Structure 1
């Protein structure tokens, strides 16, 4: 049962993008358990196609992916009419200040480090409602 505090982090359309299938499906499951509508995909080009149809409110996007990395994918999403104002959260194995700055410069609203800290994820989802993600 969700408490009133949980309502701020639920009910969003979220796209999880990670070339690691296990990581993507696990994160998608966690987000579903939080009450969100979630779809997972496993590459940048696929994210662009699915995003166009799904119109997610939030995308959690892995940085280190083959072919089209997360930075490039983020920039391409931001150029789409459906992607200009959504919340984009970078997902990376690296979390130094320089890594976070690089994510913000690429167009991300926030930066999470793998493995994902559930509390940090909830804070970002709360901030997504007001576009106050860090």
Structure 2
């Protein structure tokens, strides 16, 4: 089993993480953090490209922004839940959308958890090891 030391000092399993965010700078910073924590990261900046990458990358975890151009994160999550490669992946919404309705819409779309941007490293690490909410 491949493990890595977390920032908190514990152990976490290395994961294959698909990161989808249209903000290139935010995506780069988060991908660097996740890689430093020992994860393998594939980054995409829109829904169609994220969907195109899943069969080859086969992520364990998808960290997905909701406010994407053209195809919302809600639509992407619904489509991912229909595909074999991501049907059982842990789907994390990481978004600035933080109302109760946004949280419920995320869960209804197939996300396991809804995290609000400026997420802490500790909260992100905790979400990566949580069981699926579904």
Query: Are 2:55 and 2:85, in contact at CA under 8 Å, matched by a contact in 1?
Result: yes
SS in 2 for 1:89: strand
Q: Which runs of 5+ in 2 are unaligned?
A: none
Instruction: Quote how far apart the aligned CAs of 1:39 are.
Output: 1.2
Q: 1:104 aligns with which of 104, 107, 132?
A: 107
**Per-residue displacement from partner, 1:27-55 (whole Å, max 9, x unpaired)?**
11111111101111100000011111100
Instruction: Provide the C-alpha distance between the structure 1 equivalents of 2:95 and 2:48, rounded to a whole number of angstroms.
Output: 18
Aligned to 1:45: 48
Aligned to 1:12: 15
Aligned to 1:131: 132
Structure 1 or 2: more helix by fraction: 1
Q: Which runs of 5+ in 1 are unaligned?
A: none
**Per-residue displacement from partner, 1:49-100 (whole Å, max 9, x unpaired)?**
1111100000000000111110000011111111111100011112232221
The alignment status of 1:67 with 2:34, answered yes or no, reads: no
TM-score by length of 2: 0.89
Aligned length: 130
Q: Over aligned residue pairs, what C-alpha RMSD do you find?
A: 1.9
The alignment status of 1:57 with 2:65, answered yes or no, reads: no
